[in-house]
Structure 1
Amino acid sequence: MAAVHPAPLPQPSHPLDHWLDPELARVSPPNAPSRLRQLADTQGTLAAAWSSAIGMGPVLVLAGAFITVMTGAAAAVLVLGLLGFVLLGLGLAFGRRVRSTLPDTSRTLISRGPGSARGGLLMAGFLALVLGGILVAMAPGIASRGATTAAGLAGAYVLFVLLLVAGIVVPSTVMGRARESFRKRATANPELRSLLEQDLITWRDPVGNASYGPL
């Protein structure tokens, strides 16, 4: 009996470069669904989480050093420093992996933070101003407790601002640039481009007739 070969997959109507064209993205409604946008947004959400870990790592190291200087407890810099380096290492390793592979889009990822650099700056700036205003109002009482207390609170405020940058501004900036960054990697990264070429051939919208692009 002759072997039965599976029917070849139909070739896509447009090549990948057509869907990656930035001009096509500009004339398309930003909320119009497409496979490329789904991939880019999902990858951006994951990359934002790991970029936050990268930013948090050095902040933990600085926090440990600050606590040790202020209290003399060497354990603070050892524990927080170790946690910071571990977080930094994990963020670098997994962040690189996320950016070079196609994400699993079968699960919905929900981000409750701002989705743009502007939104992240506004949110972080508001929180920093609120705490700064409270500290300014408490300034006379703080000054009366001596220079060490004032320096401690000033240092803690700086660490709080750095925490806001790492936890809000950095990931929101990454998410806001997700599609643009995805386009650049799809052009410059041969591994990611190969995965996209294969996905373009095999993907079919499971619930409607959404197109593969634009991005």
Structure 2
Amino acid sequence: MTHPVPFPASLPSHSLDHWLSPELARVSPPNAPSRLRQLADAQGTLAAGWSSAIAGGPVLALAGAFFSATSGNPAAVLVLGALGAALLVLGLFSWKRVRATLPNTDRILITRGPGSARGGIVTVSVLAAMGGGILSLFLPAAAARGNATVVLLAGCFLLTLALLVACILVPSAVMGRARQSFRLRVQANPGLRSAVEADLATWRDPYGNAGYGPL
């Protein structure tokens, strides 16, 4: 009695270096789907979230120092400084881990902010202009109360602007360079490259005929 021989899995039609080619990416429509783009965009979205934590940590510490200086109470710098340091450390650790491993693309990641540095700059500029306009309405009354009130309002405005940069501009810049950064990391990180090559050997589009690349 003979046993059926399992049909061997088909080998990838192209190598990973072929799909990683910048020339191939340039001639492909940016919205054309591919597995590499799915991986890069998902990893970029996760990294963008942690980049906001990295940038937000120092902003919290700066806010604590400002409020302690204006109030004379050291509690603000102690509490917000500790929270900012913890957020920074957590962000750096998670940032490195996310960028060194393949993301789980089975989970749907939804982003509401801009997806490029230019979009982030425009969004932050508009919000800053709106905030500056509102602040200008209160400046005459603040000036009548003394310089300390003006300094407090101006400091709060600058801290708000720094928070907008940390939460909007920084992650949008990371997302805008997600594919280029993913290409560089795959080429420089042997562990990440091995994971992508293993994924290339087994992945098949479950919904259509999308290719593994370009990136």
Paired positions, count: 215
The equivalent of 1:187 in structure 2 is: 187
The equivalent of 1:170 in structure 2 is: 170
| Percent of paired sites with the same residue | 65
Instruction: State how 1:1-215 maps to structure 2 within 5 Å.
Output: 7-215=7-215
Q: Which runs of 5+ in 2 are unaligned?
A: none
Q: Within 1, Cα distance between the matches of 2:191 and 2:3?
A: 33
Q: Within 1, Cα distance between the matches of 2:22 and 2:200?
A: 18
Deviates more, 1:3-12 or 1:138-147: 3-12
Q: Within 2, Cα distance between the matches of 1:39 and 1:203?
A: 12
How far did residue 138 of structure 1 move? 2.2
How far did residue 208 of structure 1 move? 1.2
Q: Within 2, Cα distance between the matches of 1:125 and 1:21?
A: 35
How far did residue 75 of structure 1 move? 1.4
Moved over 3 A (4+): 1-8
How far did residue 139 of structure 1 move? 1.9
How far did residue 2 of structure 1 move? 9.8
How far did residue 137 of structure 1 move? 2.7
How far did residue 10 of structure 1 move? 2.1
Q: Within 2, Cα distance between the matches of 1:8 and 1:193?
A: 24
How far did residue 8 of structure 1 move? 4.1
Which one-letter code corresponds to 2:44 in the other structure?
A: G
Note the alpha carbon deviations across 1:23-74, whole angstroms, 9 max, x for none. 1011111111000000000000000000000000000000011111111222
2:102 counterpart SS class: coil
Q: Within 1, Cα distance between the matches of 2:144 and 2:66?
A: 22
Q: Within 1, Cα distance between the matches of 2:42 and 2:76?
A: 36
Q: Within 2, Cα distance between the matches of 1:2 and 1:78?
A: 76
Change (3 A) 1:53 1:5: farther
Q: Within 1, Cα distance between the matches of 2:88 and 2:4?
A: 52
Q: Within 1, Cα distance between the matches of 2:51 and 2:74?
A: 28
Which one-letter code corresponds to 1:103 in the other structure?
A: P
Please provide the CA RMSD for this pair.
1.6
TM-score norm. by structure 1 comes to: 0.96
